[in-house]
Amino acid sequence: MKNSNITIYSKPGCVQCTATARYLDQRKRPYTKIDVSEDAAAFDYVTKELGYMQVPVVETSEGEHWYGFVPDRLAVYI
């Protein structure tokens, strides 16, 4: 699944958001980071469409998504 696009929905000051991005950065894995505190459409998508109330929310182009810093799930995409 190395060709999967990864999106991290985050907000400033979120420790798990930073850990998720750092994990991918250290492995030179590209991703898109979207700040839900600045992007109302992204906030609505994460809360209403995906059903999450906390960040980070990680979503892949395969349609998988999860909440939090989960290295085991991220490792599948490295």
In a domain, 39, yes or no: yes
Domain annotation covers residue 15: yes
Q: What is the pLDDT of residues 26-73, one digit of tens each?
A: 999 999 999 999 999 999 999 999 999 999 999 999 999 999 999 999
Q: What per-residue confidence (pLDDT) applies to 52?
A: 98
> The domain that contains 36 carries what CATH number?
3.40.30.10
**Could you give the CA distance from residue 28 to residue 50 in angstroms, rounded to a whole number?**
27
Both tokens assigned to 18: 């930073």
Note whether residue 26 is domain-resident: yes
In a domain, 77, yes or no: no
- Phi and psi at 8, nearest 5°, equal -110, 120
| CA dist list (Å): 24 to 16, 45, 69 | 13, 23, 11
Half-sphere exposure of 42 (CA within 13 A, CB side): 19
> What pLDDT score was predicted for residue 26?
97
> pLDDT at residue 2 above 80?
no
* Residue 59 forms part of a structural domain: yes
The model carries a pTM of 0.95
Give the residue numbers spanning the domain of 35: 6-44+53-69
Q: How many domains does the chain have?
A: 1
